């Protein structure tokens, strides 16, 4: 079965940087979109960044210019480099995988916590 495992979360101070990684396994489709979403207590889950198998990227407005998503095809991983972190970035960050061609499958990881102190 498909499995997504996030890593890299932690506690940092405002202005610091963190890098998250998502390791995907158990899928064989060639066209997909991987990405990161986050959810803070009492708030809706929101887009952070996505990247397709064709390397098209998309970012949420609140992280543009600060976060960068990348992909490693050989390792089936998606990374998120987060710079200039703010307290409002505090959330549980989830990895997502969505098939783009050949079906409508979507998968989620369990999440990794990012906490930014002021």
* Percentage of residues of the chain with pLDDT beyond 70: 100
Quick one: average pLDDT of 54-78?
96
Q: Are 67 and 80 in contact (CB under 8 A)?
A: yes
Give dist(CA 88, CA 111) in Å, integer.
17
- Note the pLDDT tens digit of each residue in 89-105: 999 999 999 999 988 89
Q: What is the pLDDT of residue 57?
A: 98
Residues 110-115, mean pLDDT to the nearest whole number? 98
pLDDT digits (tens, 9 = 90+) for 77-93: 999 999 999 999 999 99
């Amino acid at each position: 079965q498909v499995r997504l495992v996030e890593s890299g979360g932690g506690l940092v101070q405002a202005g610091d940087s963190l890098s998250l990684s998502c390791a995907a396994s158990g899928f064989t489709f060639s066209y997909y979109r991987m990405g990161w979403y986050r959810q803070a207590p009492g708030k809706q889950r929101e887009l952070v960044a996505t990247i397709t198998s064709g390397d098209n990227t998309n970012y949420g407005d609140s992280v543009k210019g600060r976060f960068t998503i990348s992909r490693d095809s050989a390792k089936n991983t998606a990374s998120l480099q987060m710079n200039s972190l703010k307290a409002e970035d505090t959330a549980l960050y989830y990895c997502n995988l969505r098939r783009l061609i050949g079906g409508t499958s979507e998968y989620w990881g369990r999440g990794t916590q990012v906490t930014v102190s002021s």
